[in-house]
Structure formats: C-alpha cells, structure tokens
Amino acid sequence: MRRASLAATALLVALALAPAPAVADDASAGHALFVERCSTCHGSDGRGVDGRGPSLIGAGAMAAHFYLSTGRMPLQSPDIEPVRSTPSFTDAQIRELVAYIASLGGPPIPQVNPGAGSYTEGRDLFSLNCAGCHQISGAGGVVTGGTVPSLDESTPTQIAEAVRIGPYLMPRFGEDQIDQHELDSIANYVVATTRHPDDAGGLALGHLGPIPEGMVAWFVAMGALLVAARLTGKRAS
C-alpha cells in the first residue's frame, strides 16, 4: 500500500513537473496502449504479474526504450528469450509507451556520444568487458542458457542502454565500472567495428575469429593443394 501511494505520488509529481503538456498527453496515450498490449504480463498498472513479467516501477524510460525500439517487447510468451526484431510499434507509439513507463519512475534514456569517445579505449574496454560473450567483432554468440545478440544493428543509444540495464542474461555495468567517457568509447568501437569492419582478407567468415578461419584454410586450401598436386604430378608407371 505504501509503495502504491509512493508510486502514485511519484506519478503525480512527475505529471505536475512535466514541462510540456505533450509529455503528459504521451503518457496517458501510452497508458491506454500499455493496458491493451502489455498488461497481460506487466499488469494494467505496470506492477508486474507474478511469474509472467517483472514490475516496471523504476524501470524508467531507459529500459522501455531499449526493449521497444529493439523489438524485444512485446514478447510472444513470457518464457522465451527476447531477441531483436522489427519493432511492433510505430515511433510515435514507442514515444508514448516510453513516456508512460518513465512516469512510473526510473532512469532516463542515457546520453551517449560516440564521437566524444576513443576507438582504441573502446576496443580495450570492449575486449575486457564485452567480448567474452559478444566476440571482439560484436558478432554475438552463445552463453549457456541463452544466445548473445550480434551488435550489427545496435544504435549508440541502445548500446548505452544495454550496458546500464543488463537485459536478459547480460550483467549490468554501473557508472563506477564504465563511466560516461568509457561508454562513449565503447559505442564508438562497436559502431565502427560492426558498420565498417576491416575485412582486409576479403571474405569475413562471419567475423567468428581465427578458428573458423583456420578450418577454412585447412579444408579449402588443403583441398586446392591436393587438386593442384594431382593435376601437375606424374603417376609413376
């Protein structure tokens, strides 16, 4: 009861402090949409449904924007892993839903400026904190119990949101661990690496690294050498 009244107060304060009426309009339109599309799992007031979906009180615009803009929500069934797909909502609808969930309290959409970051610092941080799962090329992979998404389509904002939220099985990284400048650098590295990969050798082989490259070298190149040897050699008579 106390939490409910706190949330209600927070909602009222947020509404009262809202600088432009447009935000309040967005939030109320968002609430209508939320009840229609999200309440089965998150409850009509965003407080969650036991065993189906978490409470969104305190999730904030950050998580709402991440999950909606990457198409991970709405989820077909509560037990499946949310994966990136085409967003189910229009940009305007996402703005409304984000405004509604933001009105429940929580962190705003993080600011990130890849241009202010450094590529080399980003590479070091990515290799230290992210590459274990996402691979140094950002191509993704697996972790036991889940898949690790490729970062090919992640926008800088979505990268920053994922770092701060820790969606699904990903751990989260706070300001103490990755500060704003380091976050800018990571976004810089990811965007540069996934959008403009340095494929000097031609075929990138999915950017999966030296093991698939080595296998291709063995099986393709050795096969070619065998054919060449067979063709140029002379059979002893």
Partner 1 sequence: MKRLARAVLALVTLRMLRRGGHKHAPPAEPPPEAEDPRAELTSDPARELAAAVLALGGAAGALAFVAAYLLSGDTQLLGLAAGAACVLLGVGMIVLSAGLAGQDRAVEERPLPQPEVPAAGELVTAPADAITRKKLLAGAAGIAGASIGAALIVPAASLGPAPALGRSPWADGRQLVDENGEPVMADAIETGSFLTAYPRGADRDILGSPVVVVRIDPAMLNPPPDRRDWSVQGILAFSKICTHAGCAVAMLRYPLYRPTEPGPALVCPCHYSTFDVTRAGEVLFGPAGRSLPQLPLRRRSDGGLEAAGPMSDAVGPAQGRVDW
Point out which residues bind partner 1 (CB under 8 A).
50-54, 78-79, 132-133, 142-146, 165-174, 176-177, 224, 227-228, 231-232, 234
C-beta closer to partner 1: residue 13 or 143: 143
Question: CB of residue 33 vs partner 1: minimum separation in angstroms?
Answer: 21
Measured between alpha carbons, how far is 39 from 25 in angstroms, rounded to an integer? 20
Question: CB of residue 46 vs partner 1: minimum separation in angstroms?
Answer: 14
Question: CB of residue 7 vs partner 1: minimum separation in angstroms?
Answer: 19
Question: CB of residue 60 vs partner 1: minimum separation in angstroms?
Answer: 13
Measured between alpha carbons, how far is 44 from 162 in angstroms, rounded to an integer? 25
Measured between alpha carbons, how far is 188 from 194 in angstroms, rounded to an integer? 10
C-beta closer to partner 1: residue 176 or 198: 176
C-beta closer to partner 1: residue 108 or 174: 174
C-beta closer to partner 1: residue 32 or 220: 220
Measured between alpha carbons, how far is 151 from 86 in angstroms, rounded to an integer? 15
